[in-house]
């Protein structure tokens, strides 16, 4: 049986465990005020090309999303997101729990289009009753999206222009950022993201770490006293070094990018294999998530040899399923899977 249901099935990249072992008995101050956090932050800001920025390390994605969003919004504001955005659908209402509405716009392949956001804002401000509605206060996107798709640099630039016109900050959820940056054909670099977004995070949990997301504010000042907000949200690790050491390792010698690339290689191999066997794909994605359309017979057969995630039912009765690769996927597992289908 081969397992491809998600990209967080294994522990951490061995290099991370090695560093955890080496440093284990060192004594460091708590709450992220240790040398490893400092070092990780510096390396991250450097790679992002924004040495004057700010980095905060948190534990997981939902936590990061709701903490960042609620820190930025004023009480009467909501966050614009694609209907399929993680914050809209799959976080048990974490954003609403902080008192803010998620203002959904239908996305296209998981992406928010600049034009749709502009139209939304135009309609909103043209409505004589808009003060009775939730004010749009920021825009949330993910890259890669929930559907494994990627924004182009043009698309991000256009979104930025719309947001500039309406003075809305952009928050990019990069839970799988590495897999987006290392995908074939993408023209978006981490420096572009630093330039085009007001805040974003670099996912660790799904890219080699046991846990951890690194929130980057390319410029200081968007939020104040964020440390206290993190604490208030229960997102402050006492042993912050656990996050610091992991990100320091990931951002030493480009490890984050190397292991991300590995996942892409594995995904492309898997994709090619399925295509050769005549499988139909739901979308043509270039990242580590691959969506395949299965009829009932295929579904049944595949279920016997692999674990994957059911994504959605199509109107014609067929099922869209997701296969994920990750930094940990072994080429031999792909080979074995492909040999069995």
Is residue 311 involved in binding a copy of itself (CB under 8 A)?
no
Q: Which of 321, 338, 213, 219 is nearest to 268 (CA)?
A: 338
Minimum gap (Å) between residue 238 Cβ and a copy of itself:
5
Minimum gap (Å) between residue 280 Cβ and a copy of itself:
23
Is residue 35 involved in binding a copy of itself (CB under 8 A)?
no
Is residue 61 involved in binding a copy of itself (CB under 8 A)?
yes
Is residue 29 involved in binding a copy of itself (CB under 8 A)?
yes
Which is nearer to a copy of itself, 192 or 213 (by Cβ)? 213
Distance CA(70)–CA(58), nearest Å, equals: 15
Is residue 218 involved in binding a copy of itself (CB under 8 A)?
no
Which is nearer to a copy of itself, 77 or 192 (by Cβ)? 77
Is residue 238 involved in binding a copy of itself (CB under 8 A)?
yes
Is residue 205 involved in binding a copy of itself (CB under 8 A)?
yes
Is residue 24 involved in binding a copy of itself (CB under 8 A)?
yes
- Residue 93 φ then ψ, to 5°: 75, 30
57: left (phi over 0), alpha (psi -120 to 50) or beta: beta
Helix, strand, coil shares of the chain as percentages rounded to 5?
40, 20, 40
Distance CA(43)–CA(254), nearest Å, equals: 10
Q: Cα dist. 33→92, 240, 241, 316, 321 in Å?
A: 31, 7, 8, 55, 43
Pairing of strands 54-58, 213-217: antiparallel
Is residue 41 involved in binding a copy of itself (CB under 8 A)?
no
Minimum gap (Å) between residue 274 Cβ and a copy of itself:
20
Pairing of strands 319-324, 309-313: antiparallel
Minimum gap (Å) between residue 150 Cβ and a copy of itself:
22
Site for a copy of itself in 116-175 (CB under 8 A): 128-129, 131-135
Q: Which of 90, 114, 184 is nearest to 144 (CA)?
A: 184
Is residue 106 involved in binding a copy of itself (CB under 8 A)?
no
Minimum gap (Å) between residue 76 Cβ and a copy of itself:
4
Site for a copy of itself in 240-299 (CB under 8 A): 241-242
């Amino acid at each position: 049986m081969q397992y491809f249901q998600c990209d967080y099935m294994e522990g951490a990249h061995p290099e991370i465990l090695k560093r955890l072992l080496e440093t284990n008995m060192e004594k460091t101050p708590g709450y992220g005020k240790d040398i490893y956090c400092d070092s990780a932050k510096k390396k991250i800001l450097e790679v992002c090309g924004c040495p004057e920025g700010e980095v905060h390390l948190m534990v997981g994605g939902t936590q990061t999303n709701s903490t960042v969003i609620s820190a930025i919004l004023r009480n009467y504001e909501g966050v614009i997101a694609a209907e399929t955005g993680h914050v809209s659908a799959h976080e048990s209402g974490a954003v609403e729990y902080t008192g803010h509405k998620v203002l959904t716009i239908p996305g296209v392949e998981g992406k928010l289009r600049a034009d749709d956001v502009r139209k939304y804002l135009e309609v909103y401000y043209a409505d004589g009753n808009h003060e009775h509605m939730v004010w749009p206060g920021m825009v949330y996107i993910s890259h890669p999206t929930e559907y494994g798709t990627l924004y182009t640099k043009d698309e991000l630039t256009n979104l930025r222009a719309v947001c500039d016109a309406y003075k809305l900050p952009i928050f990019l959820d990069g839970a799988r950022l590495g897999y987006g940056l290392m995908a074939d054909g993408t023209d978006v670099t981490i420096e572009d993201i630093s330039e085009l977004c007001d805040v974003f995070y670099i996912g660790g949990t799904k890219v080699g770490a046991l846990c951890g997301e690194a929130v980057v504010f390319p410029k200081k000042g968007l939020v104040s006293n964020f440390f206290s907000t993190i604490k208030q949200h229960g997102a402050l690790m006492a042993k912050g070094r656990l996050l610091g050491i992991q990100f320091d390792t990931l951002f030493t010698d480009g490890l984050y990018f190397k292991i991300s690339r590995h996942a892409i290689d594995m995904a492309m191999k898997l994709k090619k294999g399925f295509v050769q066997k005549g499988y139909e794909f739901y979308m043509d994605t270039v990242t580590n998530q691959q969506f395949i359309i299965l009829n009932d017979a295929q579904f049944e057969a595949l279920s016997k040899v692999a674990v994957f995630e059911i994504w959605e039912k199509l109107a014609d009765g067929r099922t869209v399923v997701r296969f994920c690769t990750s930094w940990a996927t072994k080429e031999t597992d792909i080979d074995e899977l492909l040999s069995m289908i």
